[in-house]
Structure 1
Amino acid sequence: MAGEGAERAAALTARLVNRLHPGAVFSVGVAGGLKDDAGTGDAVVGTRVYESHGGKRTPGPGSPGSSAGTATTRA
């Protein structure tokens, strides 16, 4: 695992992309508000997606550095 932080994740991702040449890369494992019935190993697919640039989502109309969009079912 890369450990905590975007810089570590980016560095490990770059090394793996250079070695494995994948057709696509997905960022998974970030969930800020799961329901109680979601367990370890469950695949959770959101209906809204957020672009986060190191910001923190707070109550209100939005946070600086993040924007929302509707998720697509096409993967």
Structure 2
Amino acid sequence: MNKDTIEGNWKQLKGKVKEQWGKLTDDDFDVIAGKRDQLLGRIQERHGISKDEAETQVKEWEARDGRTPAGLWYEKS
């Protein structure tokens, strides 16, 4: 999947992410920018949960949304 497609996916998903984890700020979304590991870290920080709990929540969210992580996230840089 090319970078433009991933960026497009992220723009579409931001609203859904915001609904799920309402404590995330616009600044958080700028940092996350489609990176799964950044999303996990920001969820942990803003919601005061463990890394394992953040991972569980994101996996459940991905499953409900019917998408796979490979189709959603930028690769780590």
TM over 0.5, shorter chain = no
Flag the structure with more relative contact order, 1 or 2, with Cα contacts below 8 A and sequence separation at least 6: 2
TM-score (ref. length: structure 2) = 0.27
Structure number with larger C-alpha Rg: 1
TM-score (ref. length: structure 1) = 0.28
Q: Which has the higher strand share?
A: 1
